[in-house]
Amino acid sequence: MSEPDVYIHPSATVHPEAQLDSGVWIGPGCVVGAGVTIRKSTRLLANVHVDGRTEIGSDCVFFPFSVIGTEPQDVGYRGEETLVRIGDRNKFREFLTIHRATPKGGGLTSIGSDNYIMAYSHIAHDCHVGNSCVFVNNSTLGGHCLIEDGVFLSGFTGVHQFCRVGKYAFTGGFTVVTHDVVPFAKVAGMRPILLYGMNSVGLRRRGFDAERLKGIKRMFQILFYSGLNTSQAVERIEVEVPASADRDDLLGFIKSSRRGIIKKASESWEDESA
């Protein structure tokens, strides 16, 4: 232990090689393994299990029965040393699981900062989660998923292996994501999953002004409601929509998609941005 003001409950088990910074609070029944590093003022409330090579940032809170850094659920894993890296100011609720990576997936499972991950959620091996995301209860990521900044996954959302969810996108409850969700989108359903336009409410809550919303709305109209195929829509957006960071995010995401994007749109689109 690196600092004298770390609190460890007498019923907790902390390996002497674990690195704990000042202000770390280890509650009753917790288990912390040898390869774990925990930065300042992070709290493990009770019965939290942290194992493997796991790096946790500052001011995080782990609620009871969360399990972090255990072996990936991958039949090809052979005990190689891989990593979980977690940023600052995250909240992890009860009974969630975060698994460390596999060598074939790059060796890293990562989570950014300021996320709220609710009870029973699962973040599988080799996943990468950005900043300021919300995972509602029972949200599940298969291996190798990418979740960009500001994403909101509603309860029981399941994201298939190797899928991506773009910035500030929203999924409805019980959604099954089998292709990439473009930034700023609102999707819901299963077999088929449908796009319901842009995530207007979420974007306004994130501080997007009317001009930004107008530009995103125009790109969505071209991409999803013009009858053009994806390549034609991208070319038209590049000509008709002024250059911006939002345009770069959307077009860059589409061009880099390997699984293809969710494009089947609902027949009706309530224009919440008006």
Residue at 229 is within a domain: yes
Looking at the chain, the whole-number percentage of residues with pLDDT higher than 70 is: 96
Query: Long-range contacts of range 53-56, CB-CB < 8 Å, 24 or more positions apart?
Result: 53/81, 53/82, 53/83, 53/84, 53/100, 54/83, 54/84, 54/85, 54/86, 54/100, 55/83, 55/84, 55/85, 55/86, 56/86
| Same-domain check for residues 187 and 217 | no
- Domains identified in the chain, total number: 2
Tell me how far apart the alpha carbons of residues 199 and 194 are, in angstroms, rounded to a whole number: 13
pLDDT digits (tens, 9 = 90+) for 102-133: 999 999 999 999 999 999 999 999 999 999 99
User: Would residue 1 count as lying in a domain?
Assistant: no
Is 267 part of a structural domain of the chain? no
How far, in whole angstroms, is CA 131 from its chain's centroid?
A: 8
CA terminus-to-terminus distance, the chain: 56
In this structure, the answer to whether residues 149 and 251 fall within a common structural domain is: no
**pLDDT beyond 60 at 2:** no
Does any domain span residue 34? Answer: yes
- The mean pLDDT value of the chain amounts to 96
Range of the domain at 87: 7-202
Say yes or no: 15 and 128 in one domain. yes
> Cα(248)–Cα(169) distance, rounded to whole angstroms?
16
In a domain, 265, yes or no: no
The question of whether 122 is a catalytic residue gets the answer no
For residues 113 and 57, the answer to whether their CB atoms sit within 8 Å is: yes
pLDDT of residue 268: 57
Bridge partners of 84?
Answer: 54, 109
Check whether 225 has a pLDDT greater than 80.
yes
**Residue 100 near residue 53 (C-beta atoms within 8 A):** yes
Active site includes 126? yes
242-268 pLDDT, tens per residue?
999 999 999 999 999 999 999 999 875
Q: Identify the residue whose tokens are 């034609």.
A: 232
**Residues 33-57: tens digit of each pLDDT:** 999 999 999 999 999 999 999 999 9
* Same domain flag for 55 and 41: yes
Q: Which of 126, 149, 180, 246 is catalytic?
A: 126
Pairing of the two strands 185-189 and 193-198: antiparallel
Give yes or no for residue 273 having a pLDDT over 50: no
The active-site residue, picked from 35, 112, 142, 143, is 143
List 49, 122, 125, 128, catalytic entry: 125
Is 130 among the catalytic positions? Answer: no
Are residues 86 and 129 both part of a single domain?
A: yes
pLDDT band at 274 (very low <50, low <70, confident <90, very high): very low
Supply φ then ψ for residue 73, to 5 degrees.
-85, 75
> What pLDDT digit, counting tens, does each position of 61-100 carry?
999 999 999 999 999 999 999 999 999 999 999 999 999 9
